[in-house]
Amino acid sequence: LFYTKEQGIDKLILLFFYKGKTDKGLWGRMEEIFGNENSLHLFSVDIDLHPELAKSFSVQLTPKLLVIRNGKEVARYRPTDITEEALQRIFSEIKEHHLLDK
């Protein structure tokens, strides 16, 4: 991933790292919750297909959700934090900390 304002990527970036069918199932739910928010970009990364990218972000366990603002990681959610029930809470936390407004 490259971050440059010249390319217009100044929105909040959510990177969802997953491995296997169970983790990937959470991606659909994330798209439902976060997909209508125009001030962010959503990306999913299969760590089996992109092991070097996972390694560059120190991702070993999945699922893992990273929140990136202006090229810097501002939040990281562990596998125990990412459940279908918790995704709405995570979205609320992101909004509450005004990460979408900056």
* Residues whose CB is less than 8 angstroms from the CB of residue 68 and which lie 6 or more positions away in sequence, other chains included: 3, 12, 13, 14, 15, 74
pLDDT, position 53: 94
Q: What is the pLDDT of residues 45-87, one digit of tens each?
A: 999 999 999 999 999 999 999 999 888 898 999 988 888 788 8
Q: Would the pTM count as exceeding 0.75?
A: yes
Which tokens belong to 53? 């990218």
Q: What is the pLDDT of residues 6-52, one digit of tens each?
A: 454 567 899 999 998 888 888 888 888 888 888 888 999 999 999 99
